[in-house]
């Protein structure tokens, strides 16, 4: 069986982890926002902006990690805009989120056209290279899959751990979760719901932008229009699929990416060549919808998600 | 800070915030034009001239506004009931697909029978497409924002598959493009010699119909009630889920008419670039119109004007056309803020 051969090959799992990495960053970012009670539909546009900002910074001569930082800062700026409108002013999170996506995408394209007016094909940068972790990368199957990735991928895994630790083991994490469950109780503790929620959206948006930057700085080495291609929306589905928990979201992202890597390989088999390629390209989106339906009965939605908090009214 | 409702807003409070929002949008656009190395006054002048400056420009703007009126209405109807249909793009293509399927020889009818039939089937197709997310929402509680968004990607790939497979015009060489509509399936021009088709009239008529439904019918009342407060509406005996499904059918059908009108009125065949995001732009149109169906017509003309004007400005002043999208996104965000400030006052603690 061809499929079994594929599933047992290290290169398949290496590809799955690579495909999962940008999703992990962006899903974590969205998860932080939603845990604090804010749905951030700016995710798609913020990923586009991050992809461009990081790549452009490196293209103009900064180091790779500085580029990641630049992407994160740009994401945080859009997060500031989003949270300024949705938290203290309590405006519709749907409308503002879509507006931020539109603004981030169009201003990115505008900046691209201004920065590179003459080019027909975008220039390449020296992207992150795989780094084999000594000894660990020698383990059969798991070694090449998990421990021969780029440092940017390792950062994704570290970040899941750090975010889980902060969310569940620190007062800050408790405050963020409480802001999404019962904001009035947070206010009663003398904490500012506005500050917590805005902070969560700003940090979360920074992570989303890093997810975008992964595409141009590690997965590929160049920036294309439409390269994010709905990944942001898929991450929103992954947050639901992971029941708003970092660890489960990580598993969801890897599972999803494995499926994506599998469809690419099946496409190249004799059986796959007879099916229109569009069917394979549809799979990630269909899978996201199926995941949403399956999880809908079990999902533990943060109680105050999308509920604005205004101290004046009780 | 916190927000306090204003009981009897003064005229200044009603008018000033939106005016300031508009002024800010123009200011930001000017700054961006300056960054691009152009004179902001000439850029703004070129946009207005390119949109409304000549008979040709006016007709172009009206043509561009036509699909936006349909998608704007589709979004306005849905958002009024707080049903977040972000999938107007897919529903538009559903209508376009039906138009091509029926209009290329499948139904050998005369124009007067054929066009209404195609329009009707298109509406059904768009409605059916939105029915799936609507049922997923009412049956399983799946958020329709994400499902409708994902459907856009799925349905566009589906269209791409058809255009490279069974629907491909054998005469079109390598380009994925459907066969051309029969002459009977084309929407005629309103006035002979003027490049404006009956799709525009249909759009205005649809806006009037929706306005009547919303202000004069039980369904309109129920949709508003569900949008204002679902629990209260259910308590008052309104079948909330049924109203949401009816809303979805209406919204999907309206968006599909955009596809019908574009193919039958303007393009004559189906390609993958039929819509440059009309479905998404419909959201801006609906929000700028404050979800009012008659306002949608004005907002669509405004938005279409900016797009058409920016196209010709871009050619003349060498500023990227994306300036139009930035202006609209900025206008959207500032306008929702401004509208809120007409009704609430910011109080310092």
When CB atoms are compared, the residue of A106, A286, A289 closest to B326 is A106
B23 to chain A, minimum CA–CA distance in Å?
18
Helix (H) or strand (E) holding A162: helix A151-169
Average model confidence (pLDDT) for chain B? 92
B79 to chain A, minimum CA–CA distance in Å?
10
B272-312 pLDDT, tens digit each: 999 999 999 999 999 999 999 999 999 999 999 999 999 99
Size of the A and B interface in Cβ pairs below 8 Å: 127
A95 vs B contacts (CB less than 8 Å): 283, 287, 332, 336
Q: Can you give the pLDDT at residue A85?
A: 97
Tell me the HSE value of B280 on the side-chain side, using a 13 A CA sphere: 19
A267 CB within 8 Å of a chain B CB:
no
Question: Does any domain span residue B20?
Answer: no
A113 to chain B, minimum CA–CA distance in Å?
7
A250 CB-near residues (< 8 Å, 6+ apart): A24, A157, A160, A242
Could you give the percent of chain B with pLDDT greater than 70? Answer: 100
CA B65 to chain centre: 9
Range of B114's domain? 69-290
Question: Does any domain span residue B104?
Answer: yes
Contact B157 A281 (CB under 8 A): yes
A96 vs B contacts (CB less than 8 Å): 333, 336
Q: Can you give the pLDDT at residue B11?
A: 87
B2 vs A contacts (CB less than 8 Å): 310-312
Contact A96 B336 (CB under 8 A): yes
Q: Can you give the pLDDT at residue B222?
A: 93
The domain limits of chain A are 2-115+144-296
Contact B320 A286 (CB under 8 A): no
Q: Can you give the pLDDT at residue A313?
A: 57
Bridge-partner residues for B177, per DSSP?
B271
B77 vs B176, which has greater pLDDT?
Answer: B77
Q: What is the pLDDT along chain A (314 residues), one digit of tens a residue?
A: 577 777 878 889 999 999 999 999 999 999 999 999 999 999 999 999 999 999 999 999 999 999 999 999 999 999 999 999 999 999 999 999 999 999 999 999 999 999 998 778 889 998 899 888 888 878 877 777 788 889 999 999 999 999 999 999 999 999 999 999 999 999 999 999 999 999 999 999 999 999 999 999 999 999 999 899 999 999 999 998 898 999 999 999 999 999 888 888 888 877 777 888 899 889 889 988 998 898 877 767 888 898 888 765 54
Task: Count how many domains chain B has.
Answer: 1
Q: Can you give the pLDDT at residue A314?
A: 45
The yes-or-no verdict on residue B50 having pLDDT over 70 is yes
A109 vs B contacts (CB less than 8 Å): 320, 322, 325
Q: Contact B61/B51 with Cβ under 8 angstroms?
A: yes
CATH number of A2-115+144-296: 1.10.3470
Question: Does any domain span residue B337?
Answer: no
B214-239 pLDDT, tens digit each: 999 999 999 999 999 888 999 989 99
B227 to chain A, minimum CA–CA distance in Å?
13
Q: Contact B30/B44 with Cβ under 8 angstroms?
A: yes
Q: Can you give the pLDDT at residue B68?
A: 98
Q: Can you give the pLDDT at residue B48?
A: 92
B4 vs A contacts (CB less than 8 Å): 312
Q: Which of A239-253, B6-20, B117-131, B142-156 has the lowest mean pLDDT?
A: B6-20
A97-120 pLDDT, tens digit each: 999 999 999 999 999 999 998 778
The yes-or-no verdict on residue B248 having pLDDT over 90 is yes
Q: Contact B50/B57 with Cβ under 8 angstroms?
A: yes
Question: Does any domain span residue B259?
Answer: yes
Q: Can you give the pLDDT at residue B99?
A: 96
């Amino acid at each position: 069986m061809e499929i079994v051969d594929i599933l047992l090959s290290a290169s398949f799992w290496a590809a799955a982890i690579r495909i999962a990495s940008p999703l992990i960053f962006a899903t974590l970012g969205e998860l932080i926002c939603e845990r604090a009670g804010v749905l951030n539909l700016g995710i798609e546009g913020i990923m586009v902006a991050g992809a461009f900002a990081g790549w452009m910074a490196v293209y103009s001569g900064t180091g790779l990690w500085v580029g990641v930082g630049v992407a994160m800062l740009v994401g945080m700026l859009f997060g500031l805009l989003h949270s300024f409108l949705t938290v203290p002013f309590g405006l519709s999170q749907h409308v503002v989120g879509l507006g931020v996506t539109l603004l981030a995408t169009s201003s990115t394209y505008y900046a691209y056209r201004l920065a590179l007016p003459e080019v027909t094909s975008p220039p390449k940068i020296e992207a992150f290279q795989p780094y084999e972790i000594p000894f660990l990368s020698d383990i059969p199957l798991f070694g090449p899959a998990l421990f021969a990735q780029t440092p940017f991928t390792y950062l994704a895994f570290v970040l899941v751990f750090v975010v889980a630790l902060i969310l569940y083991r620190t007062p800050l994490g408790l405050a963020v979760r409480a802001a999404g469950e019962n904001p009035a109780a947070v206010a009663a503790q003398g904490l500012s719901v506005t500050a917590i929620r805005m902070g969560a959206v700003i940090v979360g948006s920074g992570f989303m932008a890093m997810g975008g930057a992964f595409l141009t700085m590690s997965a590929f080495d160049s920036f294309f229009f439409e390269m994010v291609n709905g990944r942001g929306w898929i991450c929103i589905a992954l947050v639901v699929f992971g029941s708003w928990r970092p660890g489960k979201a990580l598993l969801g992202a890897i599972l999803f990416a494995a499926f994506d890597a599998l469809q690419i390989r099946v496409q190249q088999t004799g059986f796959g060549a007879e099916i229109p390629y569009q069917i394979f390209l549809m799979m990630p989106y269909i899978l996201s919808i199926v995941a949403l339906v399956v999880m809908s009965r079990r999902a533990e939605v943060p109680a105050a998600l999308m509920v604005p908090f205004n101290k004046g009214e009780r | 800070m916190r927000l306090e409702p204003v009981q009897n807003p003064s005229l200044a409070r009603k008018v000033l915030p939106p005016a300031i929002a508009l002024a800010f949008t123009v200011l930001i656009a000017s700054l961006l034009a300056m960054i691009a190395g152009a004179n902001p006054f000439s850029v703004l002048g070129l946009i207005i001239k390119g949109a409304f400056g000549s008979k040709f420009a006016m007709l172009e703007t009206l043509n561009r506004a036509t699909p936006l009126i349909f998608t704007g209405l589709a979004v306005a109807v849905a958002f009024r009931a707080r049903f977040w249909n972000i999938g107007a793009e897919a529903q538009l293509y559903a209508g376009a697909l039906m138009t091509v399927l029926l209009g290329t020889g499948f139904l050998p009818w005369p124009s007067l029978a054929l066009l209404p039939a195609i329009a009707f089937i298109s509406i059904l197709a768009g409605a059916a497409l939105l029915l799936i997310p609507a049922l997923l929402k009412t049956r399983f509680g799946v958020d329709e924002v994400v499902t409708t968004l994902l459907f856009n990607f799925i349905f566009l790939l589906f269209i791409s598959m058809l255009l490279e497979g069974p629907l491909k015009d054998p005469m079109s060489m390598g380009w994925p493009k459907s066969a051309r509509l029969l002459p009977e399936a084309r929407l005629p021009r309103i006035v002979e010699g003027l490049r404006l088709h009956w799709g525009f009239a249909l759009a205005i008529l649809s806006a009037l119909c929706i306005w009547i439904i919303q202000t004069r019918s039980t369904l309109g009342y129920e949709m508003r009630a569900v949008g204002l407060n679902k629990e209260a509406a259910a308590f008052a005996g309104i079948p909330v889920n049924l109203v949401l499904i009816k809303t979805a059918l209406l919204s999907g059908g309206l968006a599909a008419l955009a596809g019908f009108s574009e193919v039958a009125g303007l393009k004559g065949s189906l390609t993958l670039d039929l819509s440059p995001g009309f479905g998404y732009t419909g959201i801006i149109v609906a929000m700028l119109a404050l979800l009012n169906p008659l306002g949608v017509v004005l907002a669509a003309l405004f938005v279409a004007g900016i797009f058409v004007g920016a196209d010709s400005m871009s050619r003349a002043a060498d500023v990227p056309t994306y300036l139009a999208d930035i202006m609209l996104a900025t206008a959207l965000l500032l306008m929702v803020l401004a509208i809120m400030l007409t009704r609430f006052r910011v109080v310092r603690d």
